[in-house]
A and B are shown apart, each in its own frame.
Chain A
């Protein structure tokens, strides 16, 4: 019996998940970090700056391609999240507008391109991937435009009510993010062997870091809006509006600050943010159970409960952030 706190299975599930999260965090923290090529001193205390001296820049094209592949992986994670999420949401909306299949196609293609890219260790941009990613970016922009138009037609216009319940602004933006990361990955691959990687003439690590940081903030905005709609009824709902903004700030600072330095705090914060994406799905699974009929009524509650596939967007962005951080750490550009 609970009028303010859940009891029974739900309470147990929340406790188990919270416990598992803490354990996961501890396991992650105790893990022997993979030492960068030029730094063999591993630290168990990630928050302690290990090295004051700038690392030696390896100018290694393998590292550049590795970063590009990581970006493909990040783009793919987000695409997968968008694919499943928009499939569920637009199924819920009964695909009443034909355009509602577009994000499914675009996210599927982006996912395929990303899988391909993740496996591809060649340099040089791939035309098909490039096209797919560019299309994803565009789809997201057009989708956002559509959703904005839908809101503007509702009584009340851009009111909280319509931001909560009309077509969400953040969802199409996520497919843009996937496209953007993939597109950046292709640009990265276009760098010649011995130079410091650049994108549009700017240091690649900085560009990717900054864009990812902005992407994180956008995603925080979306999670914040929807969790506000849910009245933050579970304290864990504050996590995605507190952890990722710090990750975004740290990453942003790294992207704008001095390159070629180890940033253990930023790295760890990004890793936890990546973990948070999956933990979020876990909480959403419990959230679905808290709807009428719980998982026995999954057909309805998968649609009406919190979106299980959405939180891994944070994982995707954090992975991109880590890729950017790798580039920043390896390439002092001044």
Chain B
């Protein structure tokens, strides 16, 4: 078995067949000197669906990813430590009052992007969030209409065979999820009891892992290693759900291919990308370039691509590239139950309450949800040492009680702030590229939201009979912002079609286009927008407007 990190696997006209050990599938290859219709940088929640749909609509597409092309059946060990290989661990500088801990919690590096190790929670935005400035009084309006998004959410859910409840208790009506929700584990039931005691609705969580066979994916086996790479392919990551489709439709994927700079020509349009693969820098010519590297790497690449014509970086006439970085608050309340819970069984977030995303009777902006938890032992030790300061004998005793632990964790909306941003540091990385500096501070609203959530989570846990509760007060997770979409070139980087205002053949299609981040996990929204973008590109191409 070859080392996925040692040398590219998608070469010589073939790519790994993720469904068969040692298997290969045919892959079309494009020449570097001939311009392809689209180069897409990043193959994650945004890049994956976009590459697929563009290829399926007949465009020539090359998808680049700095990460390796994993074979889930062979490469993924049931080992928390070994799976560090999935994360983007390149050097980054973090500062601000609340520096974001970067790595496993928020960035992946693999064909399939962060979805290879994401927790599969697949939620829709509350419709009002697309107009949070005009309807709710904070943040910024999206240039998208929620009804159109509702259609694209449906498409994304079908493409990913989301397993969800028969009826979802919040928001406008949505079509039935393609697969039924998974059985809830002990931790999910405790959340449900707590929610019922608070008078909140709760639901089994819609998840991107199948509850019945789908194609060559077997149903989930509930071993709970989802965030360390699912070794069964039950999980519908982009690596499993989209990339094979993309290859079948004639796209090329280049793994272990780090894009360092986007080139622009005399007319100011993008002409292609410089990328590092197999030990040297190369250049791929392209008629369009789409950046889909997520909220840190996307602005970094745009800024690193500065040239004489665009001294502040590409697509940056608004000065907003890298600004309005948002993360989501990810605080938790943990405790123990008298009975065994075995919270590590199954996907980690099997039940959810979105109550405070839909109830506006609170004195701060934004919303949050919370979900059942199931950290694996090493992560749990980290929580115990970090939040409780346990060590030595005490830690050992508490760990013995692992099967009785239970908890809930929030996903909370943080507000956009121009001073939370990604800039370039002077240091360079292994490719000789300037590394990102990530500056982040929580605002008063962010803190008020967290305090509210911790209080409600704590009460609900206690009402559910959880003892010895304690709070994890400082965690954050998903990222968004840094290349926001909007309807005005002065206050946004891209338009509703994810097309940059400044350079008509440069697009951004990932989590960085979010003007606000909402109180739910972002990937389904990213994928839905990518599906929409592919349709818009086709429509524009048909009208000769590319």
Partners in one complex: yes
Identify the A interface with B (CB < 8 A): 1-8, 10, 154-156, 160-161, 164-165, 228-231, 233-234, 287, 290-293, 300, 304
Known: A1-B25, A292-B221, A304-B221. A229 touches B180 (CB 8 A): yes
Q: Which residues of A have CB within 8 Å of B172?
A: none
Choose from A2, A4, A233 the contact partner of B212 (Cβ within 8 Å): A233
| A230 and B212 contact, CB distance less than 8 A | yes
Known: A2-B19, A160-B166, A233-B213. A292 touches B218 (CB 8 A): yes
| B213 and A1 contact, CB distance less than 8 A | no
- Chain B contacts with A in 175-193, Cβ cutoff 8 A: 178-181, 183-184, 189, 192-193
Quote the shortest CB–CB distance from B242 to chain A (angstroms).
Answer: 8
Closest 3 pairs (CB-CB, A-B): A155-B192, A2-B215, A290-B213
What 16 additional pairs, Cβ within 8 angstroms, besides A2-B215, A161-B184?
A: A1-B17, A2-B216, A3-B240, A7-B19, A7-B215, A161-B181, A164-B183, A228-B180, A231-B180, A231-B212, A233-B213, A233-B214, A234-B213, A290-B213, A300-B221, A304-B221
| B211 and A229 contact, CB distance less than 8 A | yes
Choose from B189, B215, B247 the contact partner of A155 (Cβ within 8 Å): B189
Known: A2-B19, A231-B178, A292-B221. A7 touches B216 (CB 8 A): yes
Q: Which residues of A have CB within 8 Å of B211?
A: 229-231
B234 within 8 A of A: yes
Q: B221-236, CB under 8 A of A: which get 1 and which 0?
A: 1000000000010100
Q: Which residues of B have CB within 8 Å of A1?
A: 17-20, 23, 25, 216, 244, 247-248
B285 within 8 A of A: no
Say whether chain B's binding surface is mostly helix, strand, loop, or mixed: loop
| B241 and A3 contact, CB distance less than 8 A | yes
Q: Which residues of A have CB within 8 Å of B181?
A: 161, 164
Quote the shortest CB–CB distance from A179 to chain B (angstroms).
Answer: 30
| B234 and A160 contact, CB distance less than 8 A | no
Q: Which residues of A have CB within 8 Å of B196?
A: 155
Instruction: Identify 17 residue pairs between A and B in the complex whose beta-carbon atoms are under 8 Å apart, listed by A's number.
Output: A1-B20, A3-B217, A5-B215, A7-B216, A10-B216, A155-B192, A155-B193, A155-B196, A160-B166, A161-B165, A164-B180, A164-B183, A229-B180, A229-B211, A231-B179, A287-B213, A290-B218
Q: Which residues of B have CB within 8 Å of A6?
A: 213, 215-216
A105 CA / B212 CA spacing, docked (Å): 32
B313 within 8 A of A: no
Quote the shortest CB–CB distance from B392 to chain A (angstroms).
Answer: 36
Quote the shortest CB–CB distance from B56 to chain A (angstroms).
Answer: 12
Q: Which residues of A have CB within 8 Å of B214?
A: 3-4, 233
B219 within 8 A of A: yes
Q: Which residues of B have CB within 8 Å of A300?
A: 221
B204 within 8 A of A: yes
Q: B364-394, CB under 8 A of A: which get 1 and which 0?
A: 0000000000000000000000000000000
| B219 and A291 contact, CB distance less than 8 A | yes
Of chain B, the residue at the smallest CB distance from A7 is B216
Of chain B, the residue at the smallest CB distance from A305 is B219
Q: Which residues of B have CB within 8 Å of A161?
A: 165, 181, 184, 204
Q: Which residues of A have CB within 8 Å of B183?
A: 164-165
Q: B1-29, CB under 8 A of A: which get 1 and which 0?
A: 00000000000000001111001010000
- Chain B contacts with A in 322-368, Cβ cutoff 8 A: none
Quote the shortest CB–CB distance from A204 to chain B (angstroms).
Answer: 42
A7 CA / B232 CA spacing, docked (Å): 16
Q: Which residues of A have CB within 8 Å of B165?
A: 160-161
B245 within 8 A of A: yes
Q: Which residues of B have CB within 8 Å of A287?
A: 213
Choose from A8, A154, A293 the contact partner of B216 (Cβ within 8 Å): A8
Quote the shortest CB–CB distance from A12 to chain B (angstroms).
Answer: 13
Q: Which residues of B have CB within 8 Å of A7?
A: 19, 215-216
Q: Which residues of A have CB within 8 Å of B178?
A: 231
Known: A2-B216, A291-B213. A154 touches B25 (CB 8 A): no
Choose from B18, B19, B25, B218 the contact partner of A291 (Cβ within 8 Å): B218
Of chain A, the residue at the smallest CB distance from B193 is A155
A156 CA / B353 CA spacing, docked (Å): 13
A234 CA / B247 CA spacing, docked (Å): 25
Quote the shortest CB–CB distance from B432 to chain A (angstroms).
Answer: 37
A293 CA / B234 CA spacing, docked (Å): 12
Q: Which of A6, A228, A229, A231 has the most CB of B within 10 A?
A: A231
| A292 and B234 contact, CB distance less than 8 A | yes
- Chain B contacts with A in 18-50, Cβ cutoff 8 A: 18-20, 23, 25
Quote the shortest CB–CB distance from B343 to chain A (angstroms).
Answer: 16
A25 CA / B217 CA spacing, docked (Å): 31
A229 CA / B196 CA spacing, docked (Å): 24
| B244 and A165 contact, CB distance less than 8 A | no
Q: Which residues of A have CB within 8 Å of B18?
A: 1
A155 CA / B221 CA spacing, docked (Å): 23
Q: Which residues of B have CB within 8 Å of A4?
A: 214-215
Of chain A, the residue at the smallest CB distance from B216 is A2
Known: A154-B189, A231-B212. A3 touches B184 (CB 8 A): no
A293 CA / B232 CA spacing, docked (Å): 9
Q: Which of A155, A156, A164, A229 has the most CB of B within 10 A?
A: A155
Known: A155-B193, A292-B232. A3 touches B215 (CB 8 A): yes
Q: Which of B183, B232, B234, B242 has the most CB of A within 10 A?
A: B183
